[in-house]
Each structure stands twice: as structure tokens, then as C-alpha cells.
Structure 1
Amino acid sequence: MKLFTIGFTKSKAREFFGRLERSGVRRVYDTRLNRASQLAGFAKQDDLSFFLSRIGEIEYSVEALLAPTADMLDAYRKKEMGWPEYERRYLELLDARKVEKRIDLSSLNNGCLLCSEATPEHCHRRLAADYLAKSVVDLEIIHL
């Protein structure tokens, strides 16, 4: 089973959609808290859903269970909380939400967790993928 992750910042639309198509992603799970921001450019929720279906015949869905809380995200962005604290609190949130029991784990195969961060190192999509991998046998995580 393969689970991909991708961020859209610092990417041109051609590169972003090309990575998804080349990887064989069949569904994008939007894990962002803010999906309609003007700053998202081509990745605004309604536009992204349209582009994914037209460009790569890729399904789009929102997975709010994997989004951080607004308070947590604001504190991290304002540097009131460092990455280690954010990581700890986000993983506690996933555990409290019991996402591994509330998400159809078999549907994740060839799915892709989407967030805005350009790279996965300091992004909740990586944490979510690692968290889900604990509940899925032989899950390969690939960061695009």
C-alpha cells in the first residue's frame, strides 16, 4: 500500500499536477484547516477539485480529521510554539480524535495527503502519514 504526501507552496501548477500524475495518485485528501484562502492560488478547494479531476482524473476529498486546530496552527505560525511542541500536540490531537478508527484506511492506497508546506519536515501531513502508518501493515509513505 502506498500513501503519498504533497505540499503546493513554492510549486508551479504544472510541477504540482505533474508530480501527482507521475506518481499514480488516485485521490487527494485535503488536510488543510484553511482551504479557501486567496493565498492558496491554484490550490483553493473548489479550483483544486476541478483541476485534479480534469488534469489527472484524480478524486478530491477533504479530511478534516487530519487538520490541526486553529489555535495550534496560529500559535505555531506566530512562533509562540516551537516545532517539537506543535508535533506533540498534533499527535495528541490525532490520538484523541481516533483517526485510525474513523478513516477507512484501505481507501488510502494511492491516496495523497495535501497541505500547503513545500516540504514535509515541518508539516502536519508528514505527522499524519506516520501516525496512520502505525495502523496499516506495509504502508509505504512517499513524499512528493
Structure 2
Amino acid sequence: MIRAPFFTIGYEGTTPSAFAAALESAGVDLIVDVRAVAASRRPGFSKGALSASVNSQGIGYVHLRALGTPKEGREAARSGDAAALARIYGAHLQTDAARAALEELKNLAGGRRICLLCYERHVEGCHRRMLADWLCERIDAEPTHLMPAPF
């Protein structure tokens, strides 16, 4: 069975309107927020504001906090240490909470056009790449990594 395509997106370096346009253009119907901390210094990207904004576009919002990167992993990502990020996040995905959230993610992807959300603009330096790879192994779909227009 072919599943609906899925997407990833980061909001680093973009505006809420460019972010919304990228989601609309892709036909996303559910944002899956995979940040450990769904707060942001960037206006419009904290959990409450983001959820309200995407809901006004007819897009659902789910926060799977257990799929967020632990503090040490976020520090590795900020310093550009991809190997440490992969090691730390890989270990995190073995926890009971993360495994339950992974199953929820797989179920959410069934028949919906989901988009994994995190901060980093480029997926290569973000844990959402590992999540996208995990999801690819379980459903018959490849991710498209959305790049909203920069500000």
C-alpha cells in the first residue's frame, strides 16, 4: 500500500507567513512537532501560537515531546557535532517513552500528509532526519524536506 507522502520542515531563518505558505503548497494536513521544548524566541513558533496558526489553515497539530532531542543532543547539534547528536539521539530513541511516540508517529502517518517540525532549517543537522529515516523504513513513502523562503 502506498502511503501519503510526508514532509519535514524547520523554521530557522523564515517568517511565519513563508512557513505557512510552504505547508500549504505541500498540502500538509498535520504538523507533528518533534521538539523537546515547544517554545521559541521566534514569534509565531511557540506551541500555542503555532498550533493556532496552522489550525486556522485547516492543518492539525500534534506535539510528540518524547521524540524531541535531549539537552545534550541539542548542545551537540548547536556545536555541529553530528556524530554526537546521532549517538545521543539514537540512545534516546530506545527509551520506552520514545518508542511509544515512534509508534504513534507511524500511526499518524497512515493516510495523512504529515510534516515533522523542528527548528533547524537544514535537515542534515537535525534529529528529524533520523525520524524521517525511521519512518521511511516502516511506511512506503519518502520524505520531502521543505525549505520555506528565508527572511
Q: TM-score range by the shorter chain?
A: 0.7 to 0.9
Q: Distance in 2 between matches of 1:40 and 1:34?
A: 13
Q: Distance in 1 between the 2:33 and 2:102 partners? A: 18
CA distance in 2 between partners of 1:104 and 1:71 (Å): 23
Runs of at least 5 residues in structure 2 that lack an aligned partner in the other structure: 147-151
The code of the aligned residue for 1:47 comes to A
Q: 1:28 aligns with which of 26, 31, 45?
A: 31
- The 1:86/1:50 distance shift into structure 2, 3 A limit, reads same
Task: Spell out the pairing of 1:54-133 with structure 2 (5 A cutoff).
Answer: 54=56, 56-77=57-78, 79=79, 82-96=81-95, 97-99=98-100, 102-108=103-109, 109-133=112-136
> Could you tell me how far apart the structure 1 residues matched to 2:137 and 2:116 are?
16
Q: Calculate the TM-score normalised by the size of structure 2.
A: 0.82
- Output one character per residue of 1:82-107: Cα deviation in whole Å (capped at 9) or x when no partner: 21121132123223432576315242
Paired with 1:15 and 1:75, the residues of 2 have a C-alpha distance of 28
Is the contact between residue 17 and residue 52 of structure 1 (CA under 8 Å) also seen in structure 2?
A: yes
> What secondary structure does 1:118 align onto?
coil
Contact kept? 2:16, 2:44, Cα under 8 Å:
yes
| Number of equivalent positions | 139
Seq. identity, %: 29
The change in CA–CA distance for 1:23 and 1:41 in structure 2 (over 3 A counts) is same
CA distance in 2, matches of 1:5, 1:104: 13
RMSD of aligned Cα (Å): 1.9
Q: What SS does the aligned partner of 1:5 have?
A: strand
* Contact 1:3-1:139 within 8 A present in 2 as well: yes
- Unaligned runs of 5+ residues in structure 1 are none
In the alignment, structure 1 residue 134 sits paired with structure 2 residue 132: no
1:59 maps to a residue whose letter is G
Per the alignment, residue 149 of structure 2 pairs with: none
How far apart, in 1, do the equivalents of 2:36 and 2:99 lie?
A: 18
Task: Tell me the TM-score normalized by structure 1.
Answer: 0.86
The residue matched to 2:13 in structure 1 has which SS? coil
1:4 aligns to what?
Answer: 7
Contact in 2 for aligned 1:25/1:111 (Cα 8 Å):
yes
SS class of match (1:47): helix
Query: Which amino acid is 1:51 matched to?
Result: S
Between the aligned partners of 2:83 and 2:102, the Cα distance in structure 1 is 25
